[in-house]
């Protein structure tokens, strides 16, 4: 458990911690606030992520994700629920570009067989291959 630094990129920092701690299998959660956020929505027809920017402060109501392996290195996959100043909730797939105002995270490392990501024909996503 710990806090992410003010002004840091959430996804990059969580990934950096997993790499430096050699965490390749686990789960991630966090709460806090962002100065701005960027989240994705996967368009199942075009098979591309559409990104939404929220260029203003929001609360992180819930960040939930996992850690597995992609191309030989730890990869954090997380989804984010945010709220604005009137309590309205928005969210999506956590993308680079979400900047910490204050953030308390928890990473729980698991023992066991690594889950490895590879291209999935049915969805166009990079999913676990087993
Ligand atoms: Zn996702």
- Model confidence at 20, in pLDDT bands (50, 70, 90)? very high
* C-alpha 102 to ligand 1 mean position (Å): 22
* C-alpha 78 to ligand 1 mean position (Å): 6
What secondary structure letter does DSSP report for 9? B
- Model confidence at 41, in pLDDT bands (50, 70, 90)? very high
Average pLDDT across the chain, whole number: 97
Query: For the stretch 73-92, what's the b/e string if a residue is b when 16 or more beta carbons lie within 10 angstroms of its beta carbon?
Result: ebbbbbebbbbeeeeeeebb
Bridge partners of 53, per DSSP, are 38
* C-alpha 125 to ligand 1 mean position (Å): 9
Whether pTM > 0.85 for this model: the answer is yes
* C-alpha 1 to ligand 1 mean position (Å): 22
Q: What is the pLDDT of residues 79-107, one digit of tens each?
A: 999 999 999 999 999 999 999 999 999 99
- Model confidence at 68, in pLDDT bands (50, 70, 90)? very high
What is the number of other CB atoms lying within 10 angstroms of the CB of residue 24?
A: 19
* C-alpha 3 to ligand 1 mean position (Å): 23
pLDDT > 90 in the chain, percent? 99
pLDDT over 90 (residue 130): no
């Amino acid at each position: 458990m710990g806090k992410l630094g003010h002004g840091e990129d959430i996804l990059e920092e969580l990934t950096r911690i997993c790499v430096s701690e050699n965490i390749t299998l686990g789960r991630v959660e966090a709460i806090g606030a962002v100065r701005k956020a960027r989240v994705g929505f996967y368009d199942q027809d075009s098979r591309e992520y559409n990104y939404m920017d929220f260029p203003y402060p929001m609360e992180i109501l819930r960040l939930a994700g996992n850690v597995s392996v992609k191309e030989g290195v730890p990869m954090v996959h997380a989804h984010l629920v945010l709220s604005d100043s009137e309590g309205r909730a928005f969210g999506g797939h956590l993308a680079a570009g979400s900047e910490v105002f204050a953030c308390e995270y928890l990473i729980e490392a698991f023992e066991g067989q690594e889950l490895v990501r590879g291209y999935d024909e049915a969805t166009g996503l990079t999913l676990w291959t087993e």
